[in-house]
């Protein structure tokens, strides 16, 4: 009796183990690369209640699953594309999981060209050579080929020495670059007398670099005034190609005046009444 009971128990345990075992699905159309929203994967399976999902480095995708007899079809249809490359497909029935490495690719789409410049800002006092790097991203953030097998292009461009803000090939904010004016070439210096107010307006300008660009607004200009034994230093800034100051005639009459911007000095000017 005891022996019979043991035989029954072993038989039930064996049946339980057999019930829990699920045969690994067989892939019927192995592919090195799956194009999403286009290709399908076919599997031969046993039993029902199969589920599936795909793990990429940044997302989980649940493919469309259809079953006919002992065959299931999986179609990966993400609404916004995928990060291309290695992924893992998991098929599950009950507590059994089977994992298949796959490679995902989006349908062919033209990427958004990017035009990066280095340095972003060029000064006409320095080299006008600028590095350009071209590349493109698709709508899902994958690098796109510019041409077969080429993802980046590098060029060296010689810019015109015209100050301003310019757009690269893509006309986007990232592609913008700047050419700044260089150091002033010379400093013309003049003055005018206001007899009514007994003041003198002293003006330096127009202030241009060697390529005839107006010197940048905010550039420091220093006026030096000598009258007898007295010396004065007055700082101001360039605005719209000029810098100027107004002083009482009594403080500057018969005095000597000059202006310095960077390392450039103007000629000395003697302030006199006509």
In Å, what is the CA distance from 234 to each residue of 201, 202, 204, 241?
A: 14, 12, 13, 18
Q: Compute the average pLDDT of residues 4-21.
A: 46
Q: Compute the average pLDDT of residues 68-92.
A: 90
* CATH architecture entry for 23-105: Sandwich (2.60)
Compute φ and ψ for 69, nearest 5 degrees. Answer: 55, -120
The CATH 2.60.40.10 portion of the chain extends over 23-105
- For the chain, how far is it from start to end, CA to CA, in angstroms? 140
Q: Compute the average pLDDT of residues 107-123.
A: 86
Q: Would the pLDDT of 7 be above 70? A: no
189-270 topology per CATH? Immunoglobulin-like (2.60.40)
Two tokens, residue 58: 């940044």
Sheet strand arrangement including 40-44: 26-27, 40-44, 71-75, 64-68
Q: Compute the average pLDDT of residues 25-30.
A: 92
Q: Compute the average pLDDT of residues 28-57.
A: 91
Mean pLDDT of the chain: 88
Q: Would the pLDDT of 183 be above 90? A: yes
Q: Would the pLDDT of 214 be above 90? A: yes
Of 271, 134, 256, give the one whose Cα is nearest residue 193. Answer: 271
The DSSP-derived string for 145-181 is -SBTTB--EEEEEEPPS--EEE--TT-SGGG-EEEE-
């Amino acid at each position: 009796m005891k022996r019979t009971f043991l035989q029954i128990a072993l038989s039930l345990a064996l049946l339980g183990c057999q019930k829990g075992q699920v045969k690994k699905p067989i892939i019927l159309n192995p592919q090195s690369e799956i194009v999403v929203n286009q290709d399908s994967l076919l599997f031969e399976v046993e039993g029902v209640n199969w589920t599936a999902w795909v793990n990429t480095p940044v997302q989980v995708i649940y493919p469309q699953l259809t079953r006919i007899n002992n065959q299931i079809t999986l179609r990966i249809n993400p609404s916004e594309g995928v990060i291309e490359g290695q992924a893992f497909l998991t098929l599950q029935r009950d507590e059994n999981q089977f994992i298949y490495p796959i490679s995902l690719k989006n349908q062919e789409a033209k990427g958004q060209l990017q035009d990066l410049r280095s340095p972003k800002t060029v000064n006409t006092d320095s080299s006008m050579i600028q590095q350009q790097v071209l590349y493109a991203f698709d709508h899902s953030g994958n690098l796109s080929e510019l041409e077969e097998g080429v993802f980046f292009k590098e060029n060296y461009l010689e810019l015109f020495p015209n100050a301003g803000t310019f757009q690269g090939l893509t006309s986007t904010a990232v592609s913008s670059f700047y050419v700044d004016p260089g150091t002033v070439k010379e400093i013309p210096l003049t003055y005018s007398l206001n007899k009514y107010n007994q003041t003198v307006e002293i003006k330096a300008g127009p202030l241009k670099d060697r390529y005839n660009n107006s010197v940048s607004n905010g550039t420091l200009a220093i006026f030096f005034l000598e009258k007898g034994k007295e010396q004065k230093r007055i700082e101001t800034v360039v605005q719209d190609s000029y810098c100027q100051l107004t002083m009482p005639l009594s403080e500057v009459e018969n005095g000597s005046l000059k202006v310095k911007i960077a390392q450039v000095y103007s000629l000395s000017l003697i302030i006199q009444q006509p």
